[in-house]
Structure 1
Amino acid sequence: MKLNFPCTTCFLNGRKNIESAIDITDDGVYEVKCENGHYSIQLIRNEKYEILFDLGMLALNNGFAREAVSSLASSLERFYEYATRVILNGFDIGAEEVEKTWKLVSNQSERQLGAFYFMYLSMFKEVPTSFPNKKTSFRNNVIHKGYIPTEKEVFEYADEIYNYIVKFTLNLKERLSESMEELFQERLNIIEEKFGRDVSTPSYGTILDKSRPITVLAESSLAKEYEYVKAEYLMYSK
């Protein structure tokens, strides 16, 4: 799967807007060169969990139900990591300390989940809602036991994840929007230092796009988003 990048230089110069299709990367950093020779480094503002969720829904739409479950499950896990980092930043914990500590749990999803729960409790002073055990069992049956799910089962699983992530995203945006932006700026500074040049920061309208206004997120639904995916989703190409 590839991500489409329009050339901003062509656009600003009044030329035809040339798009480059580039394989999706793990770190969200892309080296883009259009047909007119314009070169740029771009760091997308979308977090990994957003991209993984999109890949899951695209897989479902293309008939790959089991593969969809894998991407969707990974999306939820990476959201736990992202939310934990946002909260820690909100507590003014340094990035270096966070990175060193995260390495201690990076290969253990249950510990990551526990970290998220207690970080959420510390910040919001309320017990976080847990993801339904029934859906976790469904995920384990698909991934570990070879269960072949129906499209309906996968959509219901995706819908549970979607609503779960949106609920917590609303809380993060209401309380920790500055922390969310600070985390991105830290990543941007690292990338600009690495490449020694300015880096563009496009944002894509993913299904779980956290940049949407709170009112829009609160009123959204996966059913509506999925209809758009099935009709025309032009930010990705094969």
Structure 2
Amino acid sequence: MWLKTRCPRCGSEVRLEYADSSIYDAACPQCGGEFCLFVRKPKFEVLFDMGAQALLDGYAREAVASFAAAQERFFEFYIRAASLERATGTEQSMEEAASAFESTWKHVVSQTERQTGMLALAYLMREGRPLSS
């Protein structure tokens, strides 16, 4: 999968291969200028953008895979945010809350159905009403 950006010197399009890192060292193929790109979007947004681009480019299977991964990363983001928000009014430090989340998340990281269940519970606990389908 590719990220598209523009060279800050000449403005030409530069394609970068997607990596889990948020920091990319790049060189422009047109002018040879080197630059560093820092992606400040959450992972689910990057994956969604890649899915949309794949769909526009005619790669339906890749788009579906990117959208599914984006959905899972969004679930993780929401559940993490809800659990950390819940810890703010307690004696527990943010580091302890984050560590507790990580140790719990490892049990569901590769199981979409369990992640969906955790999302439904986190939503119920945060919003006070069930997640509507």
TM-score grouping bracket, smaller chain normalisation:
0.7 to 0.9
The Cα offsets for residues 215-237 of structure 1, whole Å up to 9 and x where unpaired, read as: xxxxxxxxxxxxxxxxxxxxxxx
Structure 2: which 5+ residue stretches go unaligned?
88-93
Aligned counterpart, 2:4: 3
Check 1:97–1:124 CA distance in 2 against 1; reply closer, same or farther (3 A cut).
same
**How far apart, in 2, do the equivalents of 1:73 and 1:33 lie?**
28
Which residue is 1:121 aligned to? 124
**Which residue of structure 1 aligns with residue 25 of structure 2?**
32
Residue 90 of structure 2 corresponds to: none
1:151-170 to 2 correspondences below 5 Å: none
**8 Å contact 1:49–1:78 — kept in the other structure?**
yes
Match of 1:97 in 2: 100
Structure 1 residues 33 and 54: CA distance shift in structure 2, 3 A = closer
Q: Specify whether residues 18 and 30 from structure 1 end up closer, same or farther in structure 2 by C-alpha distance, changes over 3 A only.
A: farther
Q: CA deviation at 1:51?
A: 1.7
Contact map agreement 1:6 1:17 (CA 8 A) in 2: yes
Aligned residue type for 2:3: K
Q: Which amino acid aligns with 1:116?
A: L
Aligned to 2:62, which of 57, 64, 67? Answer: 67
Could you tell me how far 1:103 is from its partner in structure 2?
A: 0.7
User: Structure 1, residues 54-88: CA drift from partner, whole Å, max 9, x if none?
Assistant: 22222222222233222212221221111111111
Deviation at 1:3, TM superposition (A): 3.4
Q: Deviations over 1:38-63 (max 9, x none)?
A: 5x473x22112212222222222222
The percent identity for this pair of structures is: 31
Q: Is the contact made by 2:78 and 2:119 (CA closer than 8 Å) also made in structure 1? A: yes
Structure 2 residue identity aligned to 1:3: K
Instruction: State yes or no: 1:54 paired with 2:74.
Output: no
Change (3 A) 1:26 1:33: closer
Give the structure, 1 or 2, with the largest relative contact order (CA under 8 Å, sep 6 or more). Answer: 1
2:110 corresponds, among 100, 107, 117, to 107
**Which protein is richer in helix relative to its size?**
1
Q: In structure 2, do the counterparts of structure 1 residues 62 and 36 end up closer, same or farther at CA, with 3 Å as the change threshold?
A: closer
Query: After superposition, what is the alpha-carbon deviation per residue over 1:86-127, rounded to whole angstroms, capped at 9, x for unaligned?
Result: 111111262122112111111111111111111111111111
CA-based RMSD: 2.4
> 1:90 aligns to what SS in structure 2?
helix
Q: Which runs of 4+ in 1 moved over 3 A?
A: 16-21, 33-38
TM-score normalized by structure 2?
0.74
Corresponding letter in the other structure for 1:108:
Q
Matched with 2:91 is none
* Contact kept in structure 2, 1:3 and 1:24, CA below 8 Å: no
Q: Describe the shift of the 1:109–1:21 C-alpha distance in structure 2 as closer, same or farther (beyond 3 A).
A: same
Structure 2 letter corresponding to 1:85: R
